[in-house]
Amino acid sequence: MLEPLEAYFRLLALWNAKINLTALPLDAPTDETFDRLLVEPLAAAPQLVRRTGVRPQSDPTVWFDLGSGGGSPAIPLLIARPTLKLTMIESKTRKAAFLREAIRVVGLSGASVANERFEDAAQTAEYANAADFVTLRAVKADAALFETASRLLKGTGNFFHFRSSHDPSPDPAGFARVSTVQLMDTPQAFLCNYRRVFHVEQTR
């Protein structure tokens, strides 16, 4: 995975000099830069496959990453799990352009970019109820966001939320928390896995 990860990082540094893709230092990267952009996603990769299973290539697992921005965690995750079918949903036009260029440069044949708000994508026939799992980082997961994720997911799909702290709050409407896994100690990083549930399951 070293070569595609390096290609992604070099492209990110090049584009970040022109548009704001990440606030982390790239010209003189710190340990936190590598941890956040590369190590954290790679640490999450086994969790995604363990929870969603592996399918034959003829029936790929469909994955939507919301607000993909500079491409992490989605691109390093796809490098680690190239059989997944990824759609990065990004509303900012210039960031979407970067993501398309990253797909081309890194050679991510299983990836595409949707340049629209993920709330709008969830209303379309193309994306509604199409994902086996959804990922999100750097956005607070409020009730509206869980509602959007529910619209994007298939029946009992999974929503994976990357967060910097562990929140023992009650399960959101329409979801049951499956697990919370600590990905890194310093800086702290967690992956919270929610499974979409049907109304009949919620009332038991």
For residue 89, being part of any structural domain is answered with yes
Residue 16 pLDDT: 95
The answer as to whether 102 is a domain residue is yes
Where does the pLDDT of residue 122 fall: very low under 50, low under 70, confident under 90, or very high at 90 and above? very high
CATH number of the domain enclosing 71: 3.40.50.150
Q: What DSSP string runs through 158-194?
A: EEEEEESS---PPPPTTEEEEEEEEEETTTTEEEEEE
Residue 36's pLDDT band, with cuts at 50, 70 and 90, is very high
pTM of the model: 0.90
Instruction: Tell me whether residue 7 is in a domain.
Output: yes
Looking at this protein, which amino acid is placed at residue 178? Answer: V
In a domain, 189, yes or no: no
The set of residues, in sequence order, having a beta carbon less than 8 Å from that of 35 and lying 6+ positions away, is: 184, 187, 189
Domain total in the chain: 1
* β-pair partners for 160: 135, 193
In a domain, 25, yes or no: yes
Residue 53 belongs to a domain: yes
Q: Are 61 and 52 in contact (CB under 8 A)?
A: yes
- 194 inside domain: no
Over residues 100-124, the mean pLDDT reads 96
54-69: pLDDT as tens digits: 555 556 899 999 999 9
In-domain check, residue 174: no
Q: Which domain holds residue 76?
A: 2-161
